[in-house]
Amino acid sequence: MTSRTHLAALGVALTLAGAALAPTSALAAPATPSAPPVTQPVTQPESGRVTTGATTLDVQGKGRTPFTYQGSGYGTSVTGGQVPVGSGRTGLTRVSCTSQTGKSNRNYVAEAELPGAGTVDAVSSKVVTRRKGTRFETFAKHKVASVVLADTPLGSLSVSGVVAVAKAFHTPKGFGTYTNTKIAGITFTPPVGDPQVIPIPTPGQPVTIPGLATLTLGRGIEKHSQHDGRAFAVALVVKVIPTETVVKVGRSVAKITDGYKTGIFHGSSFPAKASVLGDIVKVGRVINRVMPCAGTDGQLQVEKAADVNIGDQVKVGAAEAKQIGRQNRQRATGREASQVAGVDIGGQLQVEAIKSYAKMTRYRSGKSNRNAGMSVGGITLGGQEISLDQLKQGIEIPGLAKVQADIRKKVGGGIKVIGLRITLLDGTGAVVDLATSQIRIDSK
């Protein structure tokens, strides 16, 4: 095993080791002062009525409600530094935007081997939308029984009993949120000597094992207003010193919002995304604008980013993502758009002003329409101008890249367009997508 590979493996092991959570809990009161604290027992499911604005629904435990729900989480994630392929996220679970209670997704990983490094045991994940009495809730819980870093020249580190919980709910008195994280214990076993119990970090007081890792207690973030509740909980953050990777252990997210009338939005726009095969880490997305479940209430949302280089051969100009979504009792309409100022591929191909959009409308009757498109400002190959039609058919620059424009796909009743796809021919298997826009609107 090379020193680079060894350090990378060490980073992931510690990453997963970070799964142990330290006790922190926070409770945010609902939007109105009179809302009951979440520590009160919830009532058992029963028939009832919920009124929000002009919307009044009968709800029997499961089924459509006047709210939208969203939840997700994972056991561990690794970013930055020398991250080996496959580290990714363990025990990933989510419930995508829905207006229905009674939704449940679970995931369980009994044991994950970390070749040459260690193991993570019993990662369990659960995300549900539920109704108890007049309480409507998104609930997310992620647990890691233990993470053990195998023998290394620096010793071994283990973390046990990590739990992260996030709740976002609505009662007749308003929206509220709740988070809680726990870590049972952390143990460091040096190359020589007895195992040492490492103090669980306290807020603002990280714990460092010299030359190995810095452990920082995660936190709960709770936000609520008259229209929504959002809860985020991370149990532990581990910075692996040798590899400069950052590991989050135990992450749970729960959201609930009002505003649902006709459609549930699933949309996103990301101007640049790169991923590779082999032994090179995924680059990820440059801006990833995600449409809120109930749309944007007719407000245009914009996010921008400066120039970015993806490897040595692909230089991407300034990026921008836009989205807007609105709905009434007759229809829901949304639009996603993304663009980059330009791209230079190995000095051989230049494409200016790459733009794409995806648009969809869903009517209360169940009918829908959708369309997508893309455009460029200009294309130069080897100093000569070429047409967009040529680029749509696909071109290959020997030894450098394959390039194709305007890739469209129907996705789950919606539509997706990739403005430009670049596949490098340098042996890495890298794929770069520029100006990607997608949208789908469901009825529930």
- Tens of pLDDT, residue by residue over 235-252, are 988 887 777 777 788 999
pLDDT at 345: 92
| Angle at the Cα of 91 from the Cα atoms of 86 and 92, rounded to 5 degrees | 85
The enclosing H or E element of 284 equals strand 284-286
Average the pLDDT over 331-347 and give the result.
94
Dihedral sign, CA of 219, 158, 6, 275?
negative
Distance separating alpha carbons of residues 260 and 122, to the nearest angstrom = 37
Instruction: Give the residue from 202, 195, 113 showing the smallest Cα distance to 157.
Output: 195
> Are 337 and 354 a contacting pair, CB within 8 Å?
no
User: Rounded mean pLDDT of the chain?
Assistant: 80
pLDDT at 148: 74
Average the pLDDT over 162-185 and give the result.
95
Question: CA 258, 264, 269, 274: dihedral to nearest 10 degrees?
Answer: 110
401-411 and 395-397: which strand pairing? antiparallel
Bigger pLDDT: 316 or 45? 316
- Name, in order, each residue with C-beta under 8 angstroms of 117's C-beta and a sequence gap of 6 or more: 9, 10, 12, 13, 149, 150, 152
Distance separating alpha carbons of residues 378 and 350, to the nearest angstrom = 8
199 by DSSP, 3-state: which? coil
Distance separating alpha carbons of residues 392 and 381, to the nearest angstrom = 14
> Are 34 and 175 a contacting pair, CB within 8 Å?
no
Cα atoms found within 13 Å of the Cα of residue 98, Cβ hemisphere only: 23
Per the DSSP assignment, residues forming a β-bridge with 162 are 144, 183
> Are 21 and 162 a contacting pair, CB within 8 Å?
yes
Instruction: Give the residue from 237, 146, 223, 122 showing the smallest Cα distance to 178.
Output: 223
Residue ranges covered by each domain of the chain: 3-257, 264-442
Distance separating alpha carbons of residues 99 and 444, to the nearest angstrom = 5
pLDDT band, very low/low/confident/very high, at 192 (cuts 50, 70, 90): confident
pLDDT band, very low/low/confident/very high, at 86 (cuts 50, 70, 90): very low
Neighbours of 220 (CB within 10 A): 23
Task: Region of 428 please: left (phi>0), alpha (psi -120 to 50) or beta.
Answer: alpha
Give me the phi and psi of 8, to 5 degrees please.
-65, -45
126-154 burial, b at 16+ Cβ within 10 Å, e below that, comes to: bbbbbbbebbbbbbbbbbbbbbbbeebeb
> Are 84 and 278 a contacting pair, CB within 8 Å?
no
Q: Lowest mean pLDDT: which of 30-39, 92-101, 152-161, 307-316?
A: 30-39
262 by DSSP, 3-state: which? coil
393 by DSSP, 3-state: which? helix
Distance separating alpha carbons of residues 444 and 442, to the nearest angstrom = 6
**DSSP label at 288?**
-
Average the pLDDT over 94-123 and give the result.
79
Does position 63 have pLDDT exceeding 50, yes or no? yes
Distance separating alpha carbons of residues 135 and 139, to the nearest angstrom = 12
96 by DSSP, 3-state: which? strand
pLDDT at 429: 75
> Are 348 and 318 a contacting pair, CB within 8 Å?
no
Distance separating alpha carbons of residues 266 and 325, to the nearest angstrom = 10
Average the pLDDT over 21-47 and give the result.
36
Neighbours of 304 (CB within 10 A): 11
Distance separating alpha carbons of residues 240 and 201, to the nearest angstrom = 16
Instruction: Give the residue from 265, 275, 263, 301 showing the smallest Cα distance to 418.
Output: 275
Token representation of residue 404: 């194709």
238 by DSSP, 3-state: which? strand
pLDDT band, very low/low/confident/very high, at 18 (cuts 50, 70, 90): very low
Distance separating alpha carbons of residues 178 and 355, to the nearest angstrom = 41
pLDDT at 83: 53
Q: What is the pLDDT of residues 149-172, one digit of tens each?
A: 656 688 778 889 999 999 999 999
By CB atoms closer than 10 A (0-12, 13-18, 19+), residue 299 is exposed
Per the DSSP assignment, residues forming a β-bridge with 205 are 202
- Name, in order, each residue with C-beta under 8 angstroms of 30's C-beta and a sequence gap of 6 or more: 36, 171, 173, 174, 175, 176, 224, 229
| Angle at the Cα of 163 from the Cα atoms of 253 and 172, rounded to 5 degrees | 45
Q: What is the pLDDT of residues 242-300, one digit of tens each?
A: 777 777 889 999 999 998 899 999 999 989 888 765 433 344 556 778 899 999 999 99
